[in-house]
Chain A
Amino acid sequence: MSTPTASPTLGRHRQPVPEPSPTLRQKLFRAEGRLAPYAYVAPFFLLFLAFGLFPLVYTMWISFHRFELGSDPEWTGLDNYVWLFSNPKFYNALLKTVTIGVLSTVPQLLLALGLAHLLNYRMRARTAFRVSMIMPYATSVAASTLVFAQIFGRDGGLANWLLSLVGLDGLDWRNGDLSAQIAIAVIVTWRWTGYNALIYLAGMQSISTDLYEATALDGANRWQQFLHVTLPGLRPTILFTVVVSTIGATQLFGEPLLFGGVDGGALNQYQTLGLFMYQQGWGFGSLGRAATVAWVTFLLIVVLVLINTALARWRDRDPEGARR
């Protein structure tokens, strides 16, 4: 599908006018015009070089060193990587990151899709609904986690009280294994569902009406239209949200930290990779190991993004009825 960005290119044809040799003033004027674009993009690239690209490369270099803060880095080759890949705590963190990631991303995106569909109807108080959807997005990780820690409290928490209403025993959410992961996934889902719903809504509004009309003529009902027009039309948007949510899930840090400290629970039940890195670097002071965790996490993200994109390409290959 195309975006409505085509700007008219009127007046682009210029005719070279023969001129006398330019004065200094004219030369300066032209030089300004030629250099201006570079001056405009320079701040972004300078800051990106200093605080984006340089750290990226430097992280890899540090990961080959034994490096504690205040002392000089000492080259140790692959020692950090050997340590990491033979450390059960790393595999634990990897596993928890994956389970919490799946528990939060999948419901979040499915709910967002349904919500976007509802928000796309013509209705009263439309803006009020849309605004209430992203109140959670505007709330910080810290604030939302602290509130939910209260809601998931063992005694007198709202969640356990609701469970007791349907005759279930209360849970010790924070100290359980799966229960703590579910609680964290709920916080993530609460914060991001509405945001994703708005992104899907934007995507839905750029799908051409013709397709709906054509399928309606063919006798498709609402559900079939959703399956065969809306979903295929949203595919790029869905891929985008899947990639962004995947990256977000591998970065999960604030929620587990505030839920139960750097260990991620007494038995590391919810110690994510981000938390593990923080513990190594700023809990134990071993920045070399923290850098190693960061790099392995990054490679993991690259692999996940590649898999997602490949899956989308593969799905794209079987043409659905709605494509022209």
Chain B
Amino acid sequence: MSATGVREAALAAPTPVPVRRRRYRAPDAAGPLTYVLLVVTALLFVVPFYYMVVAASRPMAEMNTSPPPFLPGPDLWQNITTAVQQQAIGLSIVNSLIVSGVTTVGTLAFCTLAGYAFAKLRFRGEKPLFAITIGTLMIPPSLGVVPLYKLMSDWGLAGRLESVILPSLVGAFGVFFMRQYLVQTLPDELLEAAKVDGASQIRTVVSIVLPIARPGMAVLGMLTFMTSWNDFFWPVITLNSTMPTVQVALNNLGSGYVPDTAVIMAGTLVGTLPVIVVFLLLGRQIVSGIIAGAVKG
């Protein structure tokens, strides 16, 4: 049987029909109180974004009045221009795109391969190696920053984007995530069929594993990009104001001696905009990704 034949057979096979038990608890319909509580919470979560816009669009003096203004003012463009000039926000956005982009590509490539190996291949040392992988999730990132900083200084990479990219090219979470995804979506029969057809491992990965892994990779890619874009601790330590990522630039903007809140908010708005856009476009997938990556009981 050809590989595609098996795949179609697997897809066409009826999923076991739940006879009497359903997996999910069919939730009851929400009452009015539930809606009220959820709307209030949603507002609490979203209002700070609106306030960011308000504060970014007014002169600083107006923000210090009581009551504070509630509507956007006319100075948005001017404040953004000042912010961009002050802390190289433009450069920082390019830098963040480079760092997040490379990190995402590396994570996707390495984590998918490792996840596939742990999900479907049997090899000596598999179990202890996977246990180590999960164990690394427990190690806090701050523990290693002193030697990492020395390492990067010795290699002449401190202050350069490489120092941020290299340590985050692969992550235990990604390996775990891709393993879970492939265990559930990649049928063993398909791999057997490929083997019978005489496909090499590399061939199998390229023509069977990667196409099936793609939706999972998309979710992991979004999560990685977001995490990388928002990373703060290590970039603040290793990068300086001549080569900042967005977060480092925002930190510099916020720690000036005479902080101009309007300019700070304008910079924050510009630095947050890409994430908000990604979010409005892909929010639904991000939610399902977080739920899928969650530890279930």
Interface residues of A (CB under 8 A from B): 1, 3-5, 7-12, 29, 32-34, 36-41, 43-45, 47-48, 51-52, 54-56, 58-59, 62, 69, 115, 118-123, 127-136, 138-151, 153, 155-158, 160-161, 164, 190, 194-195, 198-199, 201-210, 212, 233-237, 240, 247, 250-251, 253-254, 257-258, 261, 274, 277-278, 281-282, 287, 290-291, 294-295, 297-298, 301, 305
How far apart are the CA atoms of A190 and B41 in the complex, in Å?
10
Question: Which of B74-82, B181-189, B210-218 binds A?
Answer: B181-189
B121 and A36 form a contact (CB under 8 A): yes
User: 11 A-B pairs, CB-CB below 8 angstroms?
Assistant: A3-B296, A8-B187, A41-B114, A48-B136, A56-B139, A59-B143, A132-B45, A133-B45, A142-B250, A155-B66, A198-B291
A139 and B247 CA atoms in complex are apart in Å by 11
| Contact for A209 among B26, B35, B192, B264, CB less than 8 A | B26
Contact (Cβ within 8 A) A10 B188: yes
Task: State the CA gap A155–B110 with chains docked (Å).
Answer: 50
| In the complex, chain B residues whose CB is within 8 Å of the CB of A281 | 145-146, 149
> B106-153: which residues lie under 8 A (CB-CB) from chain A?
109-111, 113-114, 116-118, 121-123, 126, 129, 132-133, 136, 138-151, 153
Known: A62-B147, A147-B265, A237-B297. A139 touches B230 (CB 8 A): yes
Contact check, B201 vs A118: say whether CB atoms are below 8 A apart: no
When the two chains form their complex, are residues B166 and A138 in contact, meaning their CB atoms are under 8 A apart?
Answer: no
Indicate if the CB atoms of B48 and A190 lie closer than 8 Å.
yes
Q: How far is the CA of A297 from the CA of B139 in the complex (A)?
A: 11
Q: How many angstroms between the C-alpha atoms of A319 and B133 in the bound complex? A: 33
B-side interface residues toward A, CB under 8 Å? 21-31, 34-35, 37-38, 41-42, 44-46, 48-49, 51-52, 55, 63-68, 109-111, 113-114, 116-118, 121-123, 126, 129, 132-133, 136, 138-151, 153, 166-167, 169-170, 172, 175, 180, 183-184, 187-189, 192, 198, 200-202, 226, 229-230, 232-233, 236-237, 246-247, 250-251, 253-255, 261, 264-265, 268, 271-272, 275-276, 278-279, 283-284, 286-287, 290-292, 294-297
How many angstroms from the CA of A306 to the CA of B29 in the assembled complex?
40
Q: How far, in Å, is B208 (CB) from chain A's closest CB?
A: 13
Report yes or no: A7 in contact with B149, Cβ–Cβ below 8 A.
Answer: no
Contacts of A164 on B, CB cut-off 8 Å? 66
Pairs A-B, 8 closest by C-beta atoms: A55-B144, A121-B30, A131-B283, A36-B201, A202-B294, A140-B230, A58-B147, A123-B30
Asked whether, in the complex, the Cβ of B175 is within 8 Å of the Cβ of A44, the reply is yes
A-B interface pairs (CB < 8 A), number = 342
How far does the alpha carbon of A111 sit from the alpha carbon of B35 in the complex, in Å?
16
A144 and B48 form a contact (CB under 8 A)? yes
Of A1, A7, A52, A210, the contact of B139 (CB 8 Å cutoff):
A52
B149 in contact with A287 (CB, 8 Å): yes
Report the minimum CB–CB distance from B273 to chain A (whole Å).
10
Q: Is the Cβ of B143 less than 8 Å from the Cβ of A297?
A: yes
Residue of A nearest to B37 (CB): A118
Q: A194-B45, A198-B291, A233-B297 are in contact. Are A140 and B232 (CB under 8 A)?
A: yes
Most chain-A Cβ atoms within 10 A of its Cβ — which of B145, B149, B233, B291? B145
Give the contacting residue for A47; candidates B113, B169, B201; CB below 8 A: B169
| The residue from A11, A43, A120, A135 contacting B114, defined by CB atoms under 8 A apart | A43
Cα–Cα distance between A153 and B18 once the two chains are bound (Å): 56
Chain B contacts of A210 at CB under 8 A?
A: 21
Roughly how many angstroms separate A251 CA and B201 CA in the complex, as a whole number?
Answer: 42
- Determine whether the beta carbon of A140 is less than 8 Å from that of B247: yes
CB distance from A292 to the nearest CB of B (A): 9
